[in-house]
Amino acid sequence: MNGEKIIIGSDHAGFELKERCKSYIRNVLGKDIEDIGVYSTDSSDYPDIGHKLAEQIASKKYLVGILICGSGIGMSMVANRHRGVRAALCHDIYTTKYSRLHNDANVLVMGGRIIGEGLAFEMIKTFLETPFEGGRHKRRIEKIDKELCLEGKNS
């Protein structure tokens, strides 16, 4: 996932952590980032941003994204309704690492009211630097999308 532009979004509860993460991604990791909102702590609805980001990942305009809401639960539920999106709600380095290694996650979801800034930075670095292991895990990932197709679900 190195070298690709990253898309990021949050609701009002994730806004402050999103802003700090953007700075870290640009200034420390040296990566381009597209912020799709929200742009303040004014009340907002997480599905609006979650769907917007997931649509960009599903269309392959962006290969990797980050979503942040209060707990991360809402954003992960929304994003995972889109075919080809594998949004992983992570709370530590271990879950972040294995979301990439075994699940080929393409969206990292964090809880802005749960994850501290330092941990969020380490999780982002881990997410971006950990490759998908493939092998038996690839077969399992293919089954996820196959089931979606059989049921006729696109999003």
Break the chain into its structural domains and give their ranges: 6-150
pTM, full prediction? 0.92
**Predicted local confidence at residue 150, as pLDDT:** 44
Length, in residues, of the chain: 155
CB 104 within 8 A of CB 137: yes
Strands 107-111 and 64-69: parallel
Catalytic option among 12, 51, 91, 102: 102
Provide the sign of the torsion angle of the four alpha carbons 96, 100, 112, 18, taken in this order: positive
Phi (first) and psi of residue 116, to 5 degrees: -80, 165
Minimum mean pLDDT range among 52-66, 75-89, 105-119, 138-152? 138-152
User: Residue 112's CB: how many other CB atoms inside 10 A?
Assistant: 23
State the residue for tokens 């709370």.
91
- CATH code, residues 6-150: 3.40.1400.10
- Is 102 assigned a catalytic role? yes
Tens digit of pLDDT for each residue in 139-150?
A: 888 887 775 554
pLDDT at 152 over 60: no
Q: Residue 93 to residues 24, 30, 103, 110: CA-CA distances in angstroms?
A: 17, 21, 15, 12
Kindly list the strands in the beta sheet with 87-89, ordered across the sheet, starting from the edge strand earlier in the chain: 33-35, 6-10, 64-69, 107-111, 87-89
The pLDDT, as a whole number, for residue 149 is 53
